[in-house]
Structure 1
Amino acid sequence: MTSKTVTGLAFEFASQLTPHREHALKRISLALIVAVLRVFSVLPYPFVARLGMVVGTVLYALPSRRKHIVLVNLRLCFPDKTSLEHQKLARTHFRHVVRSYLERGIQWFGSAQSIQNIVQLDSKIDLGDPAAPPTIFMGFHFVGIEVGCMLYSTHLPVASLYTRMSSTGLCDLAKRQRGRFGAEMIERATSAKKIVGLLRSGKPVMIAADMDQGVDNSVFVPFFGVPACTLTAVSRLARLGRARVVPFVTEVLPNYQGYKLTIFEPLAHFPSGNDVVDARRMNAFLEEQIVKFPEQYYWVHRRFKHRPSGMASVY
């Protein structure tokens, strides 16, 4: 259920065609996505949100690899729940994920005011403090992360790290639309030197480091008691950039009221100088947030894709 999934069937079919026809089909698929999202951007927000929940319910009823991944993650992280509880939570999660993709319309093509109208901001720090130290905003992959980042960029300058998608067209579209209010989009593979330079220049940097990006620059620390390959980028960049680390979470509000972006106090004594300790602390903070609204965390991602030596694959 990633952006790749939205166009996955078309691109899979396209790969079986001649290069010319494959390119044409991909362009048509991308144009269709843009057209649909533009339509969603002008429709009433509650209507789009409700439609997403309905489509998500339908898709959950169909067998899929993503459904399997969600259930595996939930069984590992919540072993005390029953099979029925896992199924119910997975179904609700699917609905939220699909809804979030339909809401890309307003997020990618809506005005700054339309985004501000659906997101409440609760910041524990003074975002306009001219004397603020270098800041890393540490995000987490809840379904609302996109709109939370978009809201911040409508208020203040920021640089945001992103991971390149397999579809060049879709990746370029996402980068362009996410940065249209002035956010500087930086590919995750960019050298740390550039990111540190931005931090020291006073520009905040947004980074989400809660997904399995491979064993390089990562450590295995518990996540709900399960060893999880966890990036050490946040603590390393904070140390090099002499930056404070400020967590933020975007929550979907009930009854189609929109979202709430919460910006927390900076983590005390972070980084500690020990990447393993910092990674575990990051996961512990995330666990505290997930239990508040577990259906909204990104369980469709293979969080335990890489395993410690000698441990079998779970997917």
Structure 2
Amino acid sequence: MGISPVALLLRALSMLPYGWVARFGSALGGALFEIPSRRKHIVLVNLRLCFPGKSEAHYQALAKNHFRHVIRSYLERGIQWYGSANLIRSIVEIDSEIDLDDENAPPTIFMGFHFVAIEIGCMLYSTNSPVAALYTRMSNTRMCALAKRQRSRFGAELIERSTSARKVVALLRSGTPVMLAADLDHGINNSVFVPFFGIPACTLTSIPRLARLGGARVVPFVTEVLPNFRGYKLKVFMPLDDFPSGNDADDARRMNLFLEDQIVRIPDQYYWVHRRFKHRPEGMSGVY
């Protein structure tokens, strides 16, 4: 089949200095924001719902900064997918409240969130330790195969989300940590509606259920983009106390509260291009 144009582009970008790629991606994102698009509409709807009472100028500025981050993250994927382990380590700082090298660590679910830099945080961890992670199958089979191959190139085991439960529990019980993110709207199955910035949001209950079945602690992590094109920071937090609680709705609400605190710190870096409120409680009209 040959090498796809996307793979060729990402390989080429991986050969350029990180700062050049980051600056070009940021500039391109700013330019693309000026073009009307469905994604721009989604971002602005999300921002207006989650941060009510702000000026239109505030929403526009925040949305434009977000576009800069999103497009930049697509181009920086060349470094993430094709750069060496040493290169990745050189541009990602680690700030961890737990010992990531603890050989006697209990079963662990690393709970991630869809900030624009989530992928490189996962890639960095896989350069040092065995880990498994879930992925969602893409409609483009060729792109899906490329993403799976490059994301697992340092030894991470990738598990398709739709067939994951039994495999995840087995990995947890064997001592392999699993990285999960449950902050996107994947439909009403295995989900509950709980507030996200005060708006009912369809929220997966997979993390508390898998933690309960696997006897695992849940450790949140966030990878953020550092200012002035200095790279990234992988922030790993203490395990959540009394989690899971046995009440999926309460646990989902706790996950969203934690995420809200992180978004407030770096609001332009959360993945607002996703239709977070795609599914609505019965009787509530759509927002997009």
Q: If the TM-score is normalised by the length of the shorter chain, which range does it land in?
A: over 0.9
Code of the aligned partner of 1:236: R
Match of 2:186 in 1: 213
Task: Measure how far apart 1:292 and its partner are.
Answer: 0.2
SS of corresponding position for 2:265: coil
In structure 1, the residue matched to 2:127 is: 154
Aligned equivalents of 2:206 and 2:55: distance in 1? 36
Letter matched to residue 180 of structure 2: I
Q: Which amino acid in the other structure matches residue 176 of structure 1?
A: R
Q: What TM-score do you get using the length of structure 1 for normalisation? A: 0.90
Q: Does 1:124 align with 2:97?
A: yes
Between the aligned partners of 1:250 and 1:156, the Cα distance in structure 2 is 17
**1:242-281 aligned within 5 A:** 242-281=215-254
Q: Does 1:60 align with 2:33?
A: yes
Between the aligned partners of 1:36 and 1:223, the Cα distance in structure 2 is 37
Moved over 4 A (4+): none
Residue 280 of structure 1 and its aligned partner are, at CA, apart by 0.2
User: In the alignment, does 2:83 pair up with 1:110?
Assistant: yes
- Cα deviation, residue 42, structure 1: 0.8
Q: Measure how far apart 1:81 and its partner are.
A: 1.2
Task: Give the corresponding residue for 1:15.
Answer: none
Answer yes or no: is the 8 Å Cα contact 2:134–2:164 preserved in 1: no
User: How far, CA to CA, are the matches of 2:140 and 2:284 in structure 1?
Assistant: 32
Q: CA deviation at 1:150?
A: 0.3
Aligned residues: 288
Q: CA deviation at 1:70?
A: 0.2
Give, as a single letter, the amino acid of the residue that structure 2 aligns with 1:103.
Answer: E
Q: Post-superposition shift, 1:94?
A: 0.3
Alignment equivalent of 1:227, drawn from 200, 206, 217: 200
What RMSD over aligned residues (CA atoms) do the two structures have, in Å?
0.9
Q: Distance in 2 between matches of 1:61 and 1:130?
A: 50
In 2 relative to 1, CA 110–191 (structure 1 residues): closer, same or farther, beyond 3 Å? closer
Give the aligned partner of residue 272 of structure 2: 299
Where structure 2 has 5 or more consecutive residues not aligned to the other structure, the ranges are none
**How many percent of aligned residue pairs carry the same amino acid?**
70
- The structural deviation recorded for 1:184 is 0.2
TM-score under structure 2 length normalisation = 0.99
Answer yes or no: is 1:141 the counterpart of 2:114.
Answer: yes
Distance, in Å, in 1 between the alignment partners of 2:9 and 2:149 is 17
Out of 128-137 and 211-220, give the one that drifted further: 128-137
CA distance in 1, matches of 2:56, 2:209: 39
Instruction: Report the secondary structure of 1:300's partner residue.
Output: coil
Alignment deviations for residues 31-78 of structure 1 (CA, whole Å, 9 cap, x no partner):
111111111101010000000011101110101000000000000000
Q: Which one-letter code corresponds to 2:278 in the other structure?
A: K
Aligned partner of 1:309 among 274, 282, 287? 282
Instruction: Give 1:191 shift.
Output: 4.0
The correspondence for 1:288, drawn from 244, 261, 277, is 261
Post-superposition offset of 1:135: 0.2
Partner SS for 1:54: helix
Mind listing any 5+ residue stretches in structure 1 that lack a counterpart? 1-26
Letter in structure 1 aligned against 2:49:
L
Shift of 1:192: 1.2
Tell me the alpha carbon deviations over residues 117-146 of structure 1, each in whole angstroms, 9 at most, x when there is no partner. Answer: 110011111111121110000000000000
SS in 1 for 2:209: helix
Q: For residue 252 of structure 1, what is the amino acid of its counterpart?
A: V
